[in-house]
Each structure stands twice: as structure tokens, then as C-alpha cells.
Amino acid sequence: MSYNNILSTTTEGVATITINRPSKLNALNRETINELHKALKKADEDRAAKVIIVTGSGEKAFVAGADISEFADFSVSEGGKLAAEGQAKLFDFIANLDTPVIAAVNGFALGGGLELAMAAHFRIASDNAKMGLPEVSLGVIPGYGGTQRLPQLVGKGRAMELIMTAGMIDANQALQYGLVNHVVAQENLLEFTGVIAGKIMRNSPMAIAAAIRAINAGFEDGENGFDAEVMEFGKCFGTADFQEGTQAFLNKRKPVFTGK
């Protein structure tokens, strides 16, 4: 599948999807969102892809925001539709994928870029990364899940301050806040992220998908995360991966998981 704004490769179980609009600092427009959806869906359905890494091209930016020129003259209804469609097609879609998604944040992750990173299951940042949600400086608010995911990750007070001030934090402050899991040198970002992906790939894809669903349930209105955990735990007992994992443990050998 060919794309205009992204690059997608799969090597040794890792699908790497790179937003490739360097002249626009990888800003998200509708075409890029559509292409990301297609590439992520394809990777999730590919049995050879065990982990997905999302990153930006170049060293300056992961994604420096949404492409403002696309919606500067939108009406109320058009603005609402933009947010609803974007959340469904990309941001919520990523958060609920069965395949683990890691955001490798290189450089600026602002507005929709930070929202994209927050939709991933976790984040690793380069030491030159800068993050923020500056939407209120444009007379609007984050519309791709930022007002919900940022408080979940860093707490209500810190999220309120970041959003209200339209400020940016650097990678080390993001690490302190719990917004990212690791900070590494820019030149080592993808290599380090690949090492984490390798650790994930040693484990059962079925169990990992079940864990993602159970964890997400605890953050959804009307869902009881403990009930979801019990249900997903029970379902694991019916999988070939459970049989393989337990037999491998009992026989003191490494498991060979099939994702079934």
C-alpha cells in the first residue's frame, strides 16, 4: 500500500509507521489521519507484526500539531464533526488496538501530536522532545482526546495548568510527570524503543491484547475495570497461548506463542 504522508515498514515483528511531512513538521491533516488509520489497521491485522511503533520523520518533530489551515474557517458543526471523526478514526482507534502501540516521540509533540502520542499505549521520548497542548492560544480546546487523556496520565491539576497556559514541557519534565516512560538521546530513540518492543514480543499476543482491553476498561465511563479483568482473565484459559505458556513453565523451556 502506498501513502503520500507516511512511511510504513515491518521488520522482525515490529511495524514502524513514520509520519513523513517534514516541511510541515509532520502536522496532521485529514489525509495523514486517513493514511495513519489504514496503516495501523493493516499492521494490527498482520500476524507478522507484534508491536507497532509510531514516530515522526526527521529530528525536529514527532507531530507539531494539526494542520490549522484545514479548519480555520470551520463552522460549529464542522468543528464538532472534525473532532468526532478524528477521534473515532485515529485516536480512539489506536487506544483500543489489540497490538501494542508505542509512540517514539522525537522533537515537538504539540496539540494533535501530543494527543496522538497519548493515544498510544505508552510513550518514549528523545531528549530534545517538547510537549504541550497550545490550543487555547488559538481560541479552541484540544479536540482529539487531550482534555481526557492528559489528566489520566499526569493528574487533573497538572493537566489544567498545561492546557490553560498553552505551555510546553521538556522531555525530563514529561518523565517526571509520568507522561513518558523513558527519555533517551535522539540518536538512540528508535533503537531503544525497539529493545522495549523486543521484550513485549517474548510474551503472549493474546494475553497482551486482553491486558490492553482490561486496562482500558478501567478508564471508561460505565465500565468496571475489575469486572473486565475477571472476564479477560477467564477467557485466557481458552487460548492456545495459555496452554503453551503454562506447559513451557512447567517443563522449564521457553514458550513459543502463536497468538491463538
Cβ atoms of residues 106 and 56 within 8 Å: yes
- Closest Cα partner for 106 from 197, 25, 168? 25
45 annotated active-site: no
Distance CA 178, CA 182 (A): 9
* The pLDDT of residue 67: 83
Distance CA 123, CA 2 (A): 27
Residue 183: exposure state from Cβ atoms within 10 A (0-12, 13-18, ≥19)? buried
Q: Which of 59, 70, 78, 135 is catalytic?
A: 135
pTM of the model: 0.95
* The pLDDT of residue 259: 85
* The pLDDT of residue 113: 97
Q: Which of 12, 31, 115, 244 is catalytic?
A: 115
**Cα separations in angstroms, 244 against 249, 252, 256:** 9, 12, 7
The segments of the chain whose pLDDT lies below 50 read: none
